[in-house]
Amino acid sequence: MKISPLLIATVVSAVLAGHSSALVPVNENFNNNLLDPAVWYQYQTGKGRLVADNKKLSFEVLSKPTNDDFASIELLTSQPGYNESWELILDLSNTSGLGFNAGCGIMLFNVKDRSDYLFMEFYGKEGGVSAGVITDGDHVKKSQATINPKVSKGSIRIRFDKGTKLLTLHVSPTTAEEGYSWIKLGTFSPTGEGGNVNSNWRMKDANGRFGVHLFGFAQNNKVPTGKATLDNLKISPRP
């Protein structure tokens, strides 16, 4: 993903102040073929767009592609807490055949400092899934992790444990309909210790929250509707 999500954070931070302050269960299948502005804040640059189409969220670039075509939507109704245990699951597909030049995925960011975020993005069977961590706007050293199960659709899962303060990342080469088969990608600690990747986001139990972005991107390529999709977003509490 060439465009920096930090740009998104800067653009939307003032707009979104004061929204949801805790985890609210989410089960979004985009079956209504619309994006409710009370639920999703939309951002885009270049020719990239995210549209609800054919009961999925689809990233598209239909004409005159640029070097930085990007679109994201931010969830306004739920921000999982730092003092809560929770799980997030998202189905993804990418049949664009463009490898690292087009993808879709998810970002989790520190609501108190949007220059801190974690991302997972899917390039299809040509590139698999890549994850990374940014702190204070800079890439954390040795935070990049990749896995390629050689599939054009699958799922990702992020779990947070309020006791250990660890975010655990999983990838499944199958979707909800097929039955998940989770492969652990690694762990990240926003406390700065205890994970496979560590960086201190200075979050606090009382008011720490994670924001959620879904996104798509492309570089110098058209992406027809339906070639890079996101679906079945679920966010739920865990014991």
CA distances to 9, 12, 18, 84, 232 from 15, rounded to whole Å, are 10, 5, 9, 25, 26
Contacts of residue 161, defined as CB under 8 A and 6 or more positions apart, other chains included, come to 85, 168, 238
> Which of 15-19, 96-100, 174-178 has the highest mean predicted lDDT (pLDDT)?
96-100
Q: How confident is residue 153, by pLDDT bands cut at 50, 70 and 90?
A: very high
Pairwise CA distance, residues 74 & 13, whole Å: 11
**Distant-in-sequence, close-in-space partners of 179: CB < 8 Å, separation ≥ 6:** none
Q: What is the pLDDT of residue 6?
A: 46
pLDDT band at 177 (very low <50, low <70, confident <90, very high): confident
Q: How confident is the model at residue 99 (pLDDT cuts 50, 70, 90)?
A: very high
What pLDDT does residue 103 have? 97
Q: Which of 157, 207, 193 is nearest to 22 (CA)?
A: 207
Q: Is the pLDDT assigned to residue 11 strictly greater than 50?
A: no
Instruction: Write down the mean pLDDT value for the chain.
Output: 92
Evaluate if residue 54 carries a pLDDT over 50. Answer: yes
- pLDDT value for 19: 54
List the domain boundaries for the chain: 5-237
More reliable by pLDDT, 18 or 99: 99
The architecture in CATH of the region 5-237 reads Sandwich (2.60)
Cα-to-chain-centroid distance, residue 53: 19
**φ, ψ of residue 124 in degrees (nearest 5):** 85, -170
* Confidence (pLDDT) at 7: 46
> 137 is written with which tokens?
């706007």
Residue 219 predicted with pLDDT over 90: yes
